[in-house]
Amino acid sequence: MAKDKPTRRPRAETPKGFRDYFGAEVTERKAMLDTIAGVYHRYGYDALETAAVETVEALGKFLPDVDRPNAGVFAWQEDEEGASRAGDWLALRYDLTAPLARVAAQYRNDLPSPYRRYAMGPVWRNEKPGPGRYRQFYQCDADTVGAATVAADAEICAMLADALEAVGIARGDYVVRVNNRKVLNGVMEVIGIAGDAFEDARGTVLRAIDKFDKFGEPGVRALMGAGRKDESGDFTKGAGLSDAQADVVMGFMLAGRETGAATCARLADLVAGSEIGLEGVAELEEIAALLAAQGYGPDRIIIDPSVVRGLGYYTGPVFEAELTFEILDEKGRKRQFGSVAGGGRYDGLVERFTGQKVPATGVSIGVDRLLAALREKGRLADTATGPVIVTVMDRDRMADYLAMANDLRRAGIRAEVYLGNPKQFGKQLQYADKRASPIAIIQGGDEAARGVVLLKDLILGARIAAAATLEEWKAQPAQTEVPRETLVAAVRAMLGRG
């Protein structure tokens, strides 16, 4: 009789492009997001949580390939029983903006107008993963729907600057850069590629401008012309602009001046004759004036024509928060940290649902990137300390040990009782070490009879083991005996000196 094949065990590994987050990372992220939420709340924004799943139709044409609904997103087609409409395609949300557009349309009679909201949570993209590029990542968005005035854009920029400083990015270590898609559209008009027939060329120009920091002026000029060959020999087709057309675009990119007013004056010269371009310049002037009136100077927010933003739904002001301090890359080279947030005005997104113009503007913070920046600067609170560990010396006295932990918790001190096999005390201390515990509490039968407990300062003990002198040991021993009734006070004092 043939033997049954053994059941294949599943592989214990994270799917490619995804990652797991453990205690300290989750705690750090929550603390940062709570701080940002506090800033947004003070500005009058309300929290919103939407479903992780949307219809592909609601996500819209801004996906990589709308002819194949499952390209770029994690999508599936519902059967007739489970779908609201036969054959519906559903997908995990690609960002937090498309769900907002759906909410603004669905609840338009119930929501205030303008409607200010912030949202925080994971999004999913079915794209090729790479170093630091995941298929699931966190975003933190704030948006205003229903306000046509660029005062809403100025408010978003000011709020973003305040949020960065609130989480620990010092003034001088960041800058919020502001541009306007209307000005760029005016440039396209001036060089003669504004019509539908030039859509591909405009897209290539936008991507070229966005690569200015990476490729420099020669590389961008090549992309605007015949094309560019990289170091590996791969060739990227260019936009096919003439030298004269490329000169205008480069003039636009290099139009930044010492003041916002001077930059706007230069931009006005470049788009002279373009109604949409001059409208964009006027909006930038108004944003700069509104920010200056609130005390947001060029040390925090600047007008920068090189900001493009890649998404096609932006219709007006666009902005980007860049961290300006230097870090070392994987090859040990110095470079600026770069962008951690971006957004802009998207007046056409809600209209897809309602058929009516609904102005909107917002910003999205890359949560993982901002957390990485705070780690680089040493600005994260020390969340690595684990709970106080109550060790177990006698199984039949578990109630006493649980009571100790409960006393500490009621006093606001994180604590737990060791629940493994208590036979080997060394294993309990090894466990405490893995938990990054600051203190181990020990009470055997002898200590219980005398009404005392031993407190073992694990942090100080580690220091002493590493490089202590006899004098340091005498001055501050790593283990001390205290009465049981003073346990909470003694633990609090020991934690305070750490």
Residue-wise pLDDT for 393-411, tens only, equals 999 999 999 999 999 999 9
Residue-wise pLDDT for 38-62, tens only, equals 999 999 999 999 999 999 888 875 5
Which CATH superfamily, name and number, covers 23-52+93-191+241-376? Answer: Bira Bifunctional Protein; Domain 2 (3.30.930.10)
Residue-wise pLDDT for 222-274, tens only, equals 888 888 887 777 888 888 888 888 888 888 888 888 888 889 999 999 899 89
Average pLDDT over residues 298-309: 90
Find the Cα–Cα–Cα–Cα dihedral 368, 372, 378, 384, rounded to 10°.
Answer: 60
d(CA 389, CA 200): 63
d(CA 128, CA 234): 19
Confirm if 220 and 246 have CB atoms less than 8 A apart.
no
Residue-wise pLDDT for 354-376, tens only, equals 999 899 999 999 999 999 889 88
Which CATH architecture does the domain made up of 388-497 adopt? Answer: 3-Layer(aba) Sandwich (3.40)
pLDDT category at 473 given cuts 50, 70, 90 is: very low
Mean pLDDT of the chain: 87
Distances (CA, A) of 56 to 70, 71, 80: 9, 11, 16
- Residue 301 predicted with pLDDT over 80: yes
Establish whether the linkage from the previous residue to 422 is cis, with ω within 30° of 0.
no
Q: Which residues pair with 389 in a beta bridge?
A: 416, 440
Alpha helices in 107-226 (DSSP H): 151-167, 181-190, 199-210, 212-224
Average pLDDT over residues 193-215: 78
d(CA 324, CA 40): 23
Decide: helix, strand or coil at residue 363.
strand
For the chain, the domains span: 23-52+93-191+241-376, 388-497
The pLDDT assigned to 58 comes to: 87
The pLDDT assigned to 496 comes to: 85
- Residue 479 predicted with pLDDT over 90: no
- Residue 19 predicted with pLDDT over 70: yes
Higher pLDDT, residue 81 or 315? 315
